[in-house]
A and B are shown apart, each in its own frame.
Chain A
Amino acid sequence: MKRIALLAIALLLVAGLVPALAAQAPIRIGALFAITGPASFLGEPERNTAQMVVDEINAKGGIKGRKVELITYDTQGDATKAKQLVNKLIKNDKVSAIVGPSTTGETMAILDDAEKAGIPLISCAAGSKITDPVRKFVFKTAQNDSLAVARIYEYLKKKKMTRVAVLTVSDGFGSSGREQLKAQAANFGMQIVVDDTYAPKDTDMTAQLTKIRGSQAQAVICWGTNPGPAVIAKNARQLGLKLPLFMSHGVSSRKFIDLAGDAAEGIILPSGKVLVADLLPKKDKQKQSLMAFVKDYQGHFKAEGDHFGGHAWDATMLLRQAIERGGDAPAAIAAELEKTRNFAGIGGTFSFSPRDHAGLTKDAFVLVEIKNKDWVLVK
């Protein structure tokens, strides 16, 4: 009898301990970034930022006393790898939520896996079709390309320019931009007189620019990521092209100014506010987040935090808030994410709803001009 009583007490004790132990198990969050490969300019700052944010959360005692474990895999920007790795995160690592991937192509490849498994996915890619149509478990933090295009067209309209030449890179980023540039042209009364592309690794774009010089265009809009736009800026200068040159938010980091050198002067581009954080008025809601992120990233990586890293910052912070409110069950995270209102992050002020999983408006972008190797806000 005595033995049974002891056993019973032991069992009770163990039973009592189990929830306590469970509470200490870390919250597992998966991350898929293109850390190497052609999209590493996105993946590397994203990985750095996500890890930085998670380390900070843990240093402050975790979320409701539970540590966060970030499991990061490198997709190399390859859709097949992304597909395999999302399976690994869901099935082997049993994560509660996933941050990434970095590019639209990879995200489109794995949407259904996340949706089917019921694991919330916060993509860091910009393509608008990621959240259109809305899927219950899929969110994104990168600003839609359509918002950036609208900013540029608005400016051109104000300056009474209507004929534009577009020169886009033939990868996912460029083709998404090209689609939006064409789709919105009519709304702003724009006429696309030259529609040309270049390949991501091309070394000389004078042929396209010569063609543009011979056309009726009043402005050139180039959609690409480094180094292509820097080559274009240099080629345009070589040819003495006098037209105003617009770039996309794909090059809104100091790197572009370094690469293009003198040829960058006078170029105008839409950018997340992170680039001009110190120029923003005090009353801007995002200012606090932005300044914190910039300072933090500088401290950790001796490099300027850019808005690509910002996408991962937003995704991780959104997750933290959702888990704080509703715990780490995947369905609860998705439900809480959807209730996010007025979260002032790096990419903009997010308000998700059952009908909108992108959560941003066009004030997420500002137009900046490069003057004396620095950024100036365009009013």
Chain B
Amino acid sequence: MKREPVKYALLVAVALLAPLYFSGGYLMNVLVFVGINTLLVVALNLLLGFAGQISLGHAGFFGLGAYISAILTATHQVNPWLVMLIAALAVSALAFLIGFPVLKLKGHYLAMATLGLGIIIYIFFNEAVDITGGPSGFSGVPNLSIGALVFDDDVKNYYLVWSFTLVVILLAVNLSRSRIGRALRAIHDSEVAARVMGVNVRLLKVQIFALSAFISALAGSLYAHVMTFVAPASFGFHFSVELVTMVIIGGLGSVYGSLLGAALLTLLPEMLRAFQDYDIIIYGLILILATMFMPGGLVRGIPAVLAAILPKKQERG
């Protein structure tokens, strides 16, 4: 019995039908951002979960995608879909080039280099006022459209973003089960062993870094068109750390885990809003407790919890 297609079909069905429940409410709007964050977390998980390479600068790639889309479409009136492609290609080319020196580094040096990269990009957004509008942001980004269909409300944006998200999830699942996925996991376990087995470790790491940047930039372009406004504060060091948190809380190396991590940490602040000033304390506590009791992330923790609650099911398996 092939479980993978069933799982994916289920996800598609849930994603397509969700608006029937939430339509009209603002939760719809939050779900749009869950979709964008899922794209980012899947992208980072390819790097961190599969290849075992940390990046503390992914918010930078996300931001580059967003700013390139915003500036080219609003200031220079280029076709937004074309810009989206240009942005993704440009950002992944950049990642490819800097990937060679950066991914030569290991452990905390890699963390430091990617962190530095993210901060340099952030400072550029903030300081290049003539191009980016500086700290107060850049407004007037048009909505995306196909013919007469303009993606200007939450439901339309939801379908727009989630069609990208679902495609990327499918690609990532397939990638992880392919030869490349196995090679990546080999790198994760031992680079030397992978090299001995004939994997071009250096090139593969850089390629996956570029792919990860490509998806992040795509998410950035979508973000810019959904928000119609971009500001540097959305692409700072914090957001990079938040993305790493989403990957780990969801489950390292699991594509569906990425979805869970992104969904939980995007929805959580909304659920905690009722606690007002206490919300960040509860948020911090949940992070600690989730990691303590679900060290493998939600994707492994939830089945374990279910199994504990429903002991019968375990016997059958």
With A36-B277, A91-B25, A105-B233 as known contacts, state yes or no: A84 contacts B136, CB within 8 Å.
Answer: no
**When chains A and B are docked, how far (Å) is the Cα of A174 from the Cα of B69?**
26
Q: How far is the CB of B75 from chain A (nearest CB, A)?
A: 15
A373 within 8 A of B: no
Contacts of A85 in B (CB 8 A): 26
With A79-B137, A108-B139, A176-B136 as known contacts, state yes or no: A170 contacts B127, CB within 8 Å.
Answer: yes
Contacts of A91 in B (CB 8 A): 24-26
Contacts of B273 in A (CB 8 A): 73-74
**When chains A and B are docked, how far (Å) is the Cα of A8 from the Cα of B240?**
66
**When chains A and B are docked, how far (Å) is the Cα of A92 from the Cα of B26?**
6
Contacts of A108 in B (CB 8 A): 136-137, 139, 229
Contacts of A174 in B (CB 8 A): 135
**When chains A and B are docked, how far (Å) is the Cα of A108 from the Cα of B26?**
19
B229 touching A109, Cβ below 8 Å: yes
Partner of A80, one of B25, B26, B33: B33
Mark each residue of chain A from 151 to 178: 1 if its CB lies under 8 Å from any CB of chain B, else 0. 0000000000000000000111011100
A78 touching B277, Cβ below 8 Å: no
Q: Which residue of B lies closest to A90 (CB)?
A: B26
B227 touching A78, Cβ below 8 Å: no
B229 touching A79, Cβ below 8 Å: yes
Q: How many residues of A contact B (CB 8 A)?
A: 33
Q: How far is the CB of A144 from chain B (nearest CB, A)?
A: 14
A83 touching B227, Cβ below 8 Å: yes
Mark each residue of chain A from 5 to 38: 1 if its CB lies under 8 Å from any CB of chain B, else 0. 0000000000000000000000000000001100
A contacts, CB < 8 Å to B: 35-36, 73-74, 77-81, 83-85, 87-88, 90-92, 104-105, 108-109, 111-112, 116, 127, 170-172, 174-176, 179, 197
B contacts, CB < 8 Å to A: 24-26, 29-30, 33, 126-127, 129, 134-137, 139, 152, 154, 227-229, 231, 233-234, 269-270, 273, 276-277, 280
Q: A84-B270, A172-B231 given. 20 additional CB < 8 A pairs?
A: A36-B277, A79-B137, A79-B231, A80-B33, A80-B227, A83-B229, A87-B26, A87-B154, A90-B26, A91-B26, A105-B137, A109-B137, A127-B136, A170-B135, A172-B136, A172-B137, A174-B135, A175-B129, A176-B136, A197-B127
Q: List 7 A-B contacts (CB under 8 A).
A: A79-B231, A79-B233, A84-B270, A90-B26, A92-B26, A105-B136, A109-B137
